Amino acid sequence: MDELGKTKGGGMRDRPEIRVAYKNENVFGFAVAPAPEDLGKSLHKFSSFCWNVPDNDLSTRGNAHIFCNFFPEYKKKKNWDSKVKTNINPTLLSALSKQFGIKEENLINPLTFYCYAVLSSEFYLEQFKGKLYNVAGEWASIPITADRDLFITVSKFGENLANIEASDFKTKAEKDDLMELKYYKTKIEADSISFLDEKGNLIKKYSNLDEDVLLFEVSGYNVVWNWLKLHSYPYYRKQLEEDEILEFHTLLSKIRLYKDTIAELDKSVEEILNGNLLSKCTSSN
């Protein structure tokens, strides 16, 4: 990685702070695309959770900005202090601690999950699309509820969403008698996916799928379409085995659970916006 980062014209940005931060097992965060307007013709989810060192391509346009619970100082000189520190605005932490009666150190992780939950809410995106659907230069504002119980509820929603995104998250998936699959192209329709061979002939078709799952987008990427593309033979250079076919079904199940969780989250976010706010913080704090 170090040598690759020095390669001219590679498009890779060296981010030593992030690599150092994620060496600490207590560090996690989320990625936010810098310019939602550049991601598509309409506003959609422009954040994703990062349990591990994030890729540079978490957004189709521009490098996503990573917001962690803990982070070191930016490396500006040789004598760099790489020790991670809280990455939350101290004034906000103090205000929340007094408001909720919770120690500051016990609010760092819940607040990180809370911010991620709000950014993931479709109700939030719809209510503020005029402000959020913009070019790079201004980060989204996060409304902070003054209600302790509501804060904890939304924080737990954020943690649940983050857990669903984890690669090791387990969920029930459709059973498939297919043991292997070698495909070159796919055709996604309203409620189905067709797998095609090199000549365009149908190999396998899955029907009665949820349209909103197939259309689910994050930071400019259609999640299902990109998975299918990267696992097609021209990219993957091998056929899918039984465990990878299960991974495909698990992906669909995870997106379904994710969408259902956001639908429940939206009710709480609506409560936040209709209730008393402590203050507003920007996710860059």
Q: Which strand (E) or helix (H) includes residue 188?
A: strand 185-188
What ranges do the domains of the chain cover?
14-170+262-282, 180-257
145-202 pLDDT, tens digit each = 999 999 999 999 999 999 999 989 989 888 888 899 999 999 999 999 999 999 999 9
Residue 59 has pLDDT above 50, yes or no: no
Segment 193-218 mean pLDDT: 96
pLDDT at 185: 97
| DSSP-derived 3-state class of residue 219 | coil
231-274 pLDDT, tens digit each = 999 999 999 999 999 999 999 999 999 999 999 999 999 999 99
pLDDT at 52: 87
pLDDT at 281: 46
First-to-final CA distance of the chain = 29
Q: Which of 18, 30, 21 is nearest to 111 (CA)?
A: 30
pLDDT at 39: 65
Residue 100 has pLDDT above 90, yes or no: yes
Can you tell me which residue has the tokens 């230069």? 137
pLDDT at 53: 80
pLDDT at 70: 94
What confidence tier does 65 reach under pLDDT thresholds 50, 70, 90? confident
Report the alpha-carbon angle 236-238-243, nearest 5: 90
| DSSP-derived 3-state class of residue 186 | strand
What confidence tier does 132 reach under pLDDT thresholds 50, 70, 90? confident
Contact between 168 and 191 (Cβ < 8 Å) = no
Amino acid at 161: L
Q: Find the range with the poorest average confidence among 14-28, 85-99, 199-213, 254-268.
A: 14-28
Give the integer Cα–Cα distance in Å for 202 and 205.
7
Residue 6 has pLDDT above 60, yes or no: no
